[in-house]
A and B are shown apart, each in its own frame.
Chain A
Amino acid sequence: MSPAARRRPRCAPDRPALPVGLAVALLLVWGAVAHASGSGWVQAVGALVTGLVLVGMLGPRFALRRLVVEVTDSDRDGTAGAPAVLELVATSSCRVTPLRPGGAPTSLAARRPGRLELAPENRGVLSAVTVRLSSAAPLGLLWWSSTRRLELPTPLVVAPAEEAAERLPLAAGEAEEAAGAAELTDAGVLRGVRGYEVGDSPRQVHWPSTAHTGTLMVRESETERDRPVKVVADLLGEVEATERLASEAMGTIGSLLAARRSVILETIEDGVVVVAQVADARSAGRRLARAGTNPWADLGPPSPGVGGR
């Protein structure tokens, strides 16, 4: 752990100029009134107002330092550009603004689970998020904020967004046909025969073997379509370039799967080349998320001692 990361997160007031200026102006006016009227009660009320202002302005700092926010649950899968949801619990009321990845700010009540929507813009594996915690406890006069890193209980795997593939390795018209083409055709090389199953086309029945075995047999043929397509996704490199590539790969795989082609995906995950078939879009997304350079790897180690666990 580097010394920089061990540093406690800094708390700072948000845009303090206006409230602090107002408070100072208020206290100056009060001082003038107390001086001019010469009344001890004005001074007493002013002292109480000063106390209120002090508590209101400095209280959040202490509340923030004592604040512990934990991610109790998180989505396991997400898609780049689409919202993913975390469930958070905080020890006291606060506002959470996701910084990296970005997302919508949300308010948390004390010790009540709340939801935080993230909008990760890149694919990858998120094991932590960087958020800004803000609090104005206990009087709501001034917001203070600090940046924390929250560990996710389970990594959030962000699949790339699906982008329409430009170069589909499909025969012309295959994609359109794929949707309705449940039945097998005669085309292709005969591979063998098998027992008839409900739904097989009568045209597929292989009469010689049926006659031979006494039960209905159908032809099985191997066509171009039955051969798996291998998609190679080399996602090492710059984030933007790999993101586009990953989206394209995702789109390609999606189209291929929609066309009922079996797809083998080759990626480099953790420095190891992985070649494996992908069953569905979800597992393809997960593999692409893990592949290559993780754009979210730079979130750094957790802030110690402050509960951003």
Chain B
Amino acid sequence: MTREQALARTEEPEPEAGPGAGLVAATRLGRQLAANLASVVRGAEDACRLATIAVLAGGHLLIEDVPGVGKTMLAKAVAASVGTTLARIQGHPDLLPSDITGVSVFNEATRSWEFRPGPVFSHVVLFDELNRTPPRSQAALLESMEEGQVSADGRSWSLPDPHLVLATQNPVEHAGTFPLVVSQMDWFLLATRIGYPDARTEAALAIDQGALPMLSALSPVASPSSLAAAQREVGAVHVTQPVADYAVAIVRASRARAEVRLGASPRAAIGLLAAARAEAVLSGRDYVVPGDVKTTAPAVLGHRLVIDRPGGSIGRGATMVEELLASVPAPRP
């Protein structure tokens, strides 16, 4: 599918005249990215949109689902669409932290220790099956996500900007996993499931022999620099006090629930507004409306709650957030 076709499929109206050119460019970039992703990972428009939001907001994305539904494909599509290199790390129990961050080797020629950057030093990092990695290695990755830099040999190495980590994980009920601890979960801006495609899409996928052909046909819609500009644009989106209050109310409501053992952190509120900003840009607005907060809240908060309820870890969190949203009054203009 060409870029023009992908554009023609988008249903949102073109951003109205009025907002600055930067916003128009950011909106266009976001929509093209979403369309690109959707053309590859078919039948998972929501996940694609959330991935786009994560990219625009400069946050990291956690995709949780059973194997074979296109987690990796989505991550690859993101990398391809942003037009950068993709570093891929396959999680397994023997993975060492240095396999991620890099390792210092002794250079015989210069007779000095030299840092060989690991796969984390790239714009888009795909970390497959994060929860099959032992906690030590998880911690190494998460530190890099948190700090935006890697410390090795007493030196700090900055990660490239923009920097996006896409991690996938299997649902925790499956055997042989190391579940992520809550504090690490918190560093992912969004978490989503992809879900099984519907019967028709699945049949189409089977005929097309998966999504690989689509992936190879994908053309980049952004460069690292244009993406950085779009991210700046997202950061400049206006948030009024009532909307911020609404976001905070949702976060606080999550802590008040009896079933929730651990509610969302203040960082979650920041993340919620960041995602809402990106959502606003995707809708062609330079201001956040309560609907943006409401739409993104399940994905932003779902994985951060520790709750007492059966079901998939992210799925049940998202369900809980939906319930929360049904009890927090929306602001009235």
Contacts and interface: CB of A to CB of B under 8 A. Distances in A.
Interface string A138-174: 0000000000000001110000000000000000000
B310 A274 contact: yes
A76 interface: yes
Q: Which secondary structure dominates chain B's binding surface?
A: loop
A76 B259 CA distance: 9
A223 interface: no
A22 interface: no
A283 B327 contact: no
A29 interface: no
Nearest to B323: A154
B266 interface: no
A154 B327 contact: yes
Interface residues of B, number: 9
B310 A276 contact: yes
A153 B327 contact: yes
A154 B328 CA distance: 11
Contacts of B257: 154
Interface centre among B309, B310, B327 (most CB of A within 10 A): B310
A286 B258 CA distance: 13
A219 interface: no
Interface string B62-100: 000000000000000000000000000000000000000
A167 B257 CA distance: 36
Interface in A27-78: 76-77
A283 B258 contact: no
A286 B257 CA distance: 15
B160 interface: no
B308 interface: yes
User: Shortest 5 CB-CB distances between A and B: which pairs?
Assistant: A276-B310, A153-B327, A76-B258, A274-B310, A283-B308
9 contacts: A76-B258, A76-B259, A77-B258, A155-B323, A269-B310, A274-B311, A276-B310, A286-B309, A287-B310
Interface of A: 76-77, 153-155, 269, 274, 276, 283, 286-287
